[in-house]
């Protein structure tokens, strides 16, 4: 499973990249707005932190304007992946940009049928939102499972990018189901390493070692 970081925090991305836990980055207009910086500059800097795809989202709503914005975003860096909304206009833009060999991430997916449409239009990634479905008492992980089955049935190459991940259990379940990619905030990725028994065991080892008076 690939790990994407859902953030525009350059320091947090760089920290995880140094550990080897960054295969790509996802952003959206809300995340960029929180940075308070120029959109294109932030995307360009993020692209330097990882050779993997960095999703940069269009803000237009018509297919024609999405295509124009997508082409502009693609010029920022070779690893920019154009993020498009799962609307009919977004699908049309996806189809056009995919034919131009522009990587695309179709986002705001909430149903298997939507995911099927994205794959038909040549999307590089489909981003089903787990947490937002859970928020309205639907099963976000079931959506990941349904998409996996459909894509495997027909050999679609579109990668399932599990998004709106809120906790470590989401990550585990997505890995078990077979999502190709997961994107999560830096804090969730770091929490994957945490376990009370690991902390307890390490404390015991260090205490016993200290009693020996030795050093390495």
Catalytic residue of the set 48, 75, 83, 99:
83
Please state, in angstroms and as integers, the Cα–Cα distance from residue 146 to each residue in 143, 175, 177, following that order: 5, 14, 10
By the 10 Å C-beta count (0-12 exposed, 13-18 middle, 19+ buried), 213 is classed as: exposed
* CA–CA separation, 195 and 179 (whole Å): 24
The label of the residue with tokens 């986002």 reads 107
The count of other CB atoms within 10 Å of the CB of residue 131 is 15
- Residue 154's contacts (CB-CB under 8 Å, 6 or more residues apart) are 119
Question: Six-digit token pair at 177?
Answer: 């189901």
3-state secondary structure of 110: coil
Question: Six-digit token pair at 65?
Answer: 């304007």
Q: Within 13 A of 72's CA, how many CA atoms are on the CB side?
A: 12
Note if 34 is an active site residue: no
Which residues are tagged catalytic? 83
């Amino acid at each position: 499973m690939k790990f994407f970081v859902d953030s525009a925090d350059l320091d947090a991305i760089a920290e995880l990249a140094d550990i080897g836990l960054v295969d790509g980055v996802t952003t959206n207009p809300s995340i960029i707005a929180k940075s308070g910086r120029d959109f294109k500059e932030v995307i360009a800097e993020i692209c330097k932190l990882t050779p993997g795809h960095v999703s940069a989202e269009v803000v237009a709503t018509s297919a024609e304007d999405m295509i124009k914005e997508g082409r502009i975003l693609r010029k920022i860096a070779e690893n920019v992946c154009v993020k498009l909304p799962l609307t009919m206009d977004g699908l049309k833009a996806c189809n056009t940009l995919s034919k131009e060999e522009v990587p695309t991430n179709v986002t705001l997916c909430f149903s298997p049928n939507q995911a099927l449409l994205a794959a038909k239009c040549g999307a590089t990634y489909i981003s089903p939102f787990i947490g937002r479905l859970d928020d309205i008492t639907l099963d976000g992980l079931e959506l990941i499972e349904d998409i996996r089955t459909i894509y495997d049935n027909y050999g679609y190459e579109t990668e399932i990018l599990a998004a709106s991940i809120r906790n470590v259990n989401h990550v585990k379940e997505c890995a078990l189901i077979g999502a190709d990619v997961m994107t999560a905030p830096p804090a969730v990725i770091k929490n994957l390493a945490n376990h009370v028994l690991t902390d307890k065991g390490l404390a015991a080892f260090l205490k016993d070692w200290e009693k020996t008076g030795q050093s390495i």
